[in-house]
Structure 1
Amino acid sequence: GVHADHIHHANNWIGVAQHAQTNGVTAFYLDSSHITEMQNDIIPDMLGMSAADIEKLPPYIKYYKCENHIESGEPDCHNYKYNGPCKQRKGQASWHPGYKVNALYGNLMAFFLVDSLLEAIDQLEEDVLEKKRQTLYDMLERLEGEDAMEVDDILTAEVNSLETVGINKNATSFIKQLYQRPLYCHTSILPAQERYLGYLYPEWEGTGKSTKYPVGTSSARAPELGKSNSTSLELVYEEGEIADCPRCVHNDYKDFLYANENMGWRGVTIPNEKEKEAYGKHMKGTNFEKVNIAVCTVLCGWGRCSPGEVNDESYGNGLTLRVNGVEVKEMVSFDKFCSFLKG
């Protein structure tokens, strides 16, 4: 699905959803006109209401709108924009929505999904009653068979225009491999089960929890790293990104794998033993001597990269890569941050 999360982005994302639909992909989005109607005509304005009447309102409606402003204005809406145990945290800006606006979108999406689930259950019940000899298990077996055939169709179909949107033309010959061969992601960014389950490094123990996992080295200390017994790339996090809060109020972190000129050759084994065990069924029959490898470099915030960070333009001038001991000749970028390795 494609979801326009804020009204001022809605018109742009609706075009994306419509393009997806014309290419056979199911898409859904929130209609900004209905959101505007709810905020303007349905949600009450706190201005002029007594304190007693305000207190009777549901939590997500209380102090949502004051003086016809959303999460701002008098009486006191601006003081109720944020909640939780940490009063001051990153991202609190006048142009960012608060928790009440996010709750509105979250509830609307939840209602949509629950309604879709109930509709699917009703449809299953009707189908079973209509075909008296067919049980739900029979239907599941049939649907799984249809699903397997559709997967085969996907793996043999021609790549369409939707699958190459935003892709650099010099990388289009690689793109078909992304859709028609088994693939997996060895990633350091969060949120990712790869991190929570401890797959990133075989020696790390995973917890499966999004609130407790190994974090690696801070970006402030990373330049001090030198040669050691390790031959692996180091996991590094941006120190200023971590919220100083006893509860998880943010989990979108662009952690990265790191090496510097003082550390000697560092590398990564893909797939490692944990990944083989976890993804073995998915990668069954894969010949790891003949694979395509894509590398994504650091996601620099607002395009501002720190000194020493490298990308495909740095290749051969400060950056060298080897695969199984063979030097990579070229990095063929297919978007702003990711490149295929060419031998």
Structure 2
Amino acid sequence: MVIRYRKLRAILWTALCWQCVSSTLTSNTILQNTTHVSQNAARQTLAEVSFAERTSVDNLLENYAKAKDRLTQLLRHDYGNEYYAMIFEPGSSRGRTVIQPPGGFDVLSNSWDRLKARIMIKLIDVLRSPTPQPFVWATGGHSSAAGHGNFYDESYTAVLTRNVKQIFEAVGMQFIGRNYAMGGSDAAPEAAWCNEEIFGTDLDVLVWDYGMTDGRDVSKMAMYCYRAALNPSKPACIALHCGKPSQQPRASALRTLEQLGATVLISNENVLEQCMDAIPESQGISDYELQKMPLYVRHFKCGGLVESGDPYCGAEKYNHTDCTQRKFMAKWHQGWRFHALHGNLMALFLTELVGDALQSLKDSTQSLEDLQKDLIREENERYDLLTTSPLPTYFEDMVKDRGDLQLEHIFKSPNFCHTARVPAEIRHKGILTGGPPGDLFHYDEGVPEGQARNVENDSEFMWLVQDPTTRQKCDIPLNLDNKDYFYVKGMDGKKKLILPNDAEVSEYGRGQTPIGLIAMCLSVCDWGKCPKGDVQIEQYEQNEGTIEINGQKVTGFTKIGRCSFLRHGDGHYFTPNSDFQV
């Protein structure tokens, strides 16, 4: 792929796929651990139980009960006995009601049971092997889901990970939480197409938390969860924070996917509202009474307003122990108490699921081997149903004037995604740039933007460039999401991207011949204000830049959301070279 611009600056936010090209960027550096939050590692981490202590279902049930009691005591300490009962256990655990199947619990083969079955499969492996079985939860979402304004370890995904970790360790499993939410992003098409490269191919749960950016466009959530279900690891997709006005249409779309075989769940907005209603008032009481309130409910609600109002709810919304001038402490972002509450609710949800899985194992009359075979067979049958069923009709309106574009290719077929955004597994593992494997905090960060703007690129390839707008300096990790990008400027002349590279084929290839359908996602300018010289699709259409695919000139674009399919004179499908690359 060769790109030439006549303008001075263009950002190609490109995560290129075989059928879709999309781009992204991110980078950088963060340490670990942080806050005044009382749930520190010493309190929540249960040492991994030995293999001898988990060789029977009864052993696991005993270990689970002890770990669940420790989690309960932790929450009672943080919220106080009175408020714990009101918020988390008003008669029964909120973990049983805060997340639900879109069609309800009475539906045969509902998604609660499907996710429970997945945990049962892993628990049977636990009983056979001394190696802990991983359970991977990844959060996709907008800036609030990323925890903007807070320390990274205060996000609800971090709270969930710390507090539910002991439950999974008690039964021989390793809980892995990934907060890969990205400020200012929506669920589709880019994140949907790129879910393997961003979130991973080892997922058990992928969260949709894009309500603020997707708005009422239910099709974006549907595409995101549909593509998640096609991930080789067959994860559950959980839609969080939908908002009451959008609860029913989102549940309806997810129910369609559930009927097609996907495992999909949705947060119960009524339960979330009841939890918030149970938060005590901090307004109208004495300072002495305020100081007696547990930290996790003190200054949470003032005059009926959550994280707002006097005396201190607005002022104490964010943690001011360090880096007090950090970015993104905005009114539309949630503070640390909100994240703690919702992370703890998710921890209770998973705790109940693990308990159900253990009880189902105990109650089963089958041998563990036969039971596991049946559960795996049923999961594969649902996956086959999903891949062979016609596409949901609401996808048809996402691409206008399709020409020769085939919807099955756009929404169902596998693709490669060459994305620069971080956090992303493709960056952390060194797959994007061919470097050594790293991790969340250590990876090839690319070229600083200042250098990219002012220094001529004398290589034949586009530079991977750091976006500086969201990076912050603090000894305690803040937000990790950065919109890095691929870049070429006027003085550079022609520059290339090769898609896919050898590492991408090795990691994400499925042995299928590429069909040469390419989509491109340009970087989004903050608040729509692009710098002088920036080249967007409109400038391409006015011949202010050129793109070639294996010598074939791109002559037009077909938009889908923030991305565009590339077109030549005879249609959208380009011919790969002898190495099946563009």
Q: With structure 1 as the length reference, what TM-score do the two structures score?
A: 0.83
CA distance, structure 2, for counterparts of residue 312 and residue 257 of structure 1: 15
Structure 1 letter corresponding to 2:496: G
The partner residue of 2:307 within 71, 75, 85 is 71
The residue correspondences of 1:186-335 to structure 2 (distance < 5 A) are 186-202=418-434, 204-208=435-439, 210-228=440-458, 230-279=459-508, 283-288=509-514, 290-315=515-540, 317-335=543-561
**Which SS does the other structure have where 2:513 is aligned?**
coil
CA distance, structure 1, for counterparts of residue 345 and residue 490 of structure 2: 50
Look up the match of 1:176: 408
Structure 2 letter corresponding to 1:306: P
Is 1:101 the equivalent of 2:338? yes
CA distance, structure 1, for counterparts of residue 394 and residue 372 of structure 2: 30
**Which SS does the other structure have where 2:492 is aligned?**
coil
Look up the match of 2:275: 38
Is 1:114 the equivalent of 2:339? no
Deviation of residue 286 (structure 1)?
Answer: 1.8
| CA distance 1:176–1:271, shift in 2 (3 Å) | same
| Higher relative contact order structure (alpha carbons within 8 Å, sequence separation ≥ 6) | 2
Look up the match of 1:123: 360
Structure 2 letter corresponding to 1:206: P
Is 1:11 the equivalent of 2:233? no
CA distance, structure 2, for counterparts of residue 249 and residue 36 of structure 1: 28
Identity %: 26
* Mapped contact 1:226–1:262 kept (Cα < 8 A): yes
Look up the match of 1:338: 564
* Mapped contact 1:2–1:28 kept (Cα < 8 A): no
Is 1:62 the equivalent of 2:298? yes
**Can you give the 5+ residue segments of structure 1 that lack an aligned partner in the other structure?**
none
Deviation of residue 119 (structure 1)?
Answer: 2.0
CA distance, structure 2, for counterparts of residue 46 and residue 243 of structure 1: 33
- Deviations along 1:132-152, one digit per CA (max 9) or x if unpaired, are xx21x3333333333334333
Structure 1 letter corresponding to 2:299: Y
Deviation of residue 200 (structure 1)?
Answer: 1.3
- Deviations along 1:277-335, one digit per CA (max 9) or x if unpaired, are 322xxx232224x3322211112233333333334333351222222233233322222
Deviation of residue 192 (structure 1)?
Answer: 0.7
Deviation of residue 252 (structure 1)?
Answer: 2.5
CA distance, structure 1, for counterparts of residue 294 and residue 448 of structure 2: 42
The more displaced of 179-188 and 66-75 is: 66-75
Deviation of residue 82 (structure 1)?
Answer: 0.8
CA distance, structure 2, for counterparts of residue 169 and residue 154 of structure 1: 26
CA distance, structure 1, for counterparts of residue 518 and residue 352 of structure 2: 41
**Which SS does the other structure have where 1:121 is aligned?**
helix
Deviation of residue 168 (structure 1)?
Answer: 3.0
**Which SS does the other structure have where 1:145 is aligned?**
helix
Q: Report how many residues are paired.
A: 330
* Mapped contact 1:197–1:206 kept (Cα < 8 A): yes
Deviation of residue 169 (structure 1)?
Answer: 4.3
Deviation of residue 193 (structure 1)?
Answer: 0.6
Deviation of residue 88 (structure 1)?
Answer: 1.8
Structure 2 letter corresponding to 1:231: E
Q: With structure 2 as the length reference, what TM-score do the two structures score?
A: 0.51
CA distance, structure 2, for counterparts of residue 171 and residue 124 of structure 1: 52
Deviation of residue 250 (structure 1)?
Answer: 1.0
Deviation of residue 242 (structure 1)?
Answer: 0.7
Structure 1 letter corresponding to 2:523: V
| CA distance 1:319–1:156, shift in 2 (3 Å) | farther
